[in-house]
Amino acid sequence: MKIIHTADLHLGSPLGGAIPAEKIPERRSELLGTFIRLCDYADANGYELVLLAGDVFDGDLPPRDDKEFFYSAIKKHPNVKFLYLKGNHDSMTSYTEDIPNLLTFGPEWGCYRFGDVCVYGIELPETGGRAAAQTLSCNPDEINIVMLHGQIGGTQDDIAVKDYAGKGIDYMALGHVHGYSCGDIDSRGKYVYSGCLEGRGFDEPGEKGFVEIDTDFGVGHRFRPFASRTVRLCEVDISEAKDKPDALGMALAALENIPGKDMVRLVLKGEVGFDTAGLALAALTRLKNSFYHISVKDRSKTKPDIENLSKEESLAGEFVRLAMESDMPENCDRGRVITIGLKAISGELSEYRKER
């Protein structure tokens, strides 16, 4: 049996702040379009089931047009069964139509059987997520898929993977985390986050798509990129730049191979010996017509002026003078010692260490 696992469609998302206001209608339309493309793909390629592991809608009261679109897409693909498990965003969404190929779950474990494949699901409460595992019972002689929506963790509200070990699970289809990831439940089964179908903002970078499952080959799975656009976070260290034109050149070169249809956030980082004022604006001006949408953040910092600091009557100045006058081993980088000391004095040492 061929199955698609997807989640976190967030239909009806307002997209406020993620992209310019004039592009929001187009982008919202693309989110809907990607879902209908997934339905078409499933139908055309012999997929019998589509697992919707929560947050189909962005809220409990989704816009009427988005709700009607979703139900219409299901009805247009009667050869595919859609198993819809509500998530934390759409936990109170009501089902307005009785559609034969739309199967749903509730607050107790439900199970749908398709030959030797059993799909279990439960809509977890806001608290007590771990308690659900205690009441799950699967036949180890069957192929068992479990659908859940939530965060993997160790608290009572989380999904604790260890709680599901030894229960005969072959595949755990998860929603809530917006990036693809997977891991072992035990020697038999795996848990998989499909991620969202489309990245909506710069907090959802990377390839997005769905997961294909084939139960005829040991419940194998693979991630398939499917988004109409990719949200990309590109960090460029400009520490080696000689001046602003050099830094700008480094930034432009780093984005050369990114498709123009994508959304890009360029982050400039590192320490430089020149004033970077206006660098972000210059980069944005050069790149604004190169991508669907681009954002530029200058998080670089100017290196301390050791010579001028050594003349200051301050704690930093006293430290610099002592460091310059002290005897240090030949293999010691005096400049690095001074930089670290100044970071400690200014309270930036922890951040400095993270960057390195």
Look up the CATH number of the domain holding residue 140. Answer: 3.60.21.10
Quickly tell me which residue has 């993997």 as its tokens: 152
Separation CA 52–CA 104 (nearest Å)? 10
H or E segment to which residue 54 belongs: none
Shared domain for 78 and 142, answered yes or no, is yes
Shared domain for 58 and 169, answered yes or no, is yes
Shared domain for 10 and 62, answered yes or no, is yes
Q: Among 333, 340, 342, which residue's Cα sits nearest to residue 310?
A: 342
Separation CA 50–CA 314 (nearest Å)? 66
Quickly tell me which residue has 């070169």 as its tokens: 253
Q: Compute the CA torsion angle 303, 305, 309, 311 (nearest 10 deg).
A: 170
Given this model, what pLDDT does residue 309 score?
A: 76
Shared domain for 42 and 171, answered yes or no, is yes
Shared domain for 61 and 142, answered yes or no, is yes
Render 85-136 in DSSP notation, one character per residue.
E--SSSTTPPP-S--TTEEE--SS-EEEEETTEEEEE----SS-TTHHHHT-
For 32, other C-beta atoms within 10 Å of its C-beta total 18
Domain termination residue (choose one: 193, 208, 225): 225
Instruction: Mention every residue, 6+ apart, whose C-beta is less than 8 A from residue 291.
Output: 258, 260, 261, 262, 263, 264
Separation CA 348–CA 317 (nearest Å)? 17
Separation CA 8–CA 102 (nearest Å)? 17
Crossing angle between the packed helical segments 244-254 and 279-287, to the nearest 10 degrees? 40
CA distances from 95 to 56, 103, 106, 154, 289 (A): 12, 11, 12, 32, 43
Shared domain for 63 and 170, answered yes or no, is yes
Size (the chain), residues: 356
Given this model, what pLDDT does residue 126 score?
A: 64
Separation CA 101–CA 80 (nearest Å)? 7
**How many CA atoms are closer than 13 Å to the CA of 203, on its beta-carbon side?**
5
Number of folded domains that form the chain: 3
- Residue 139 burial (10 A CB sphere; 0-12, 13-18, 19+): exposed
Shared domain for 189 and 317, answered yes or no, is no
Shared domain for 51 and 144, answered yes or no, is yes
For residue 356, give the 3-state DSSP assignment: coil
Domain termination residue (choose one: 225, 244, 275): 225
What is the DSSP-derived secondary structure letter of residue 164? G
pTM for this one? 0.84
Shared domain for 48 and 112, answered yes or no, is yes
In order along its 356 residues, the chain shows pLDDT tens digits of 999 999 999 998 888 778 899 999 999 999 999 999 999 999 999 999 999 998 999 877 778 888 899 999 999 999 999 999 988 767 666 666 689 999 999 989 999 999 999 999 999 876 566 888 989 999 999 999 999 999 998 887 789 999 999 999 999 999 999 999 999 999 999 999 999 999 999 999 999 999 999 998 789 999 999 999 999 999 999 999 999 999 999 999 999 999 999 999 999 999 898 889 899 999 999 999 999 999 999 999 877 767 777 888 888 888 878 888 888 887 787 777 877 887 788 787 776 565 54
**Nearest-5° Cα angle at 88, 83 to 93:** 65
Shared domain for 147 and 66, answered yes or no, is yes
Shared domain for 171 and 318, answered yes or no, is no
Domain termination residue (choose one: 225, 240, 260): 225
Full residue range of the structural domain in which residue 292 is found = 231-302
Shared domain for 9 and 148, answered yes or no, is yes
Given this model, what pLDDT does residue 95 score?
A: 60
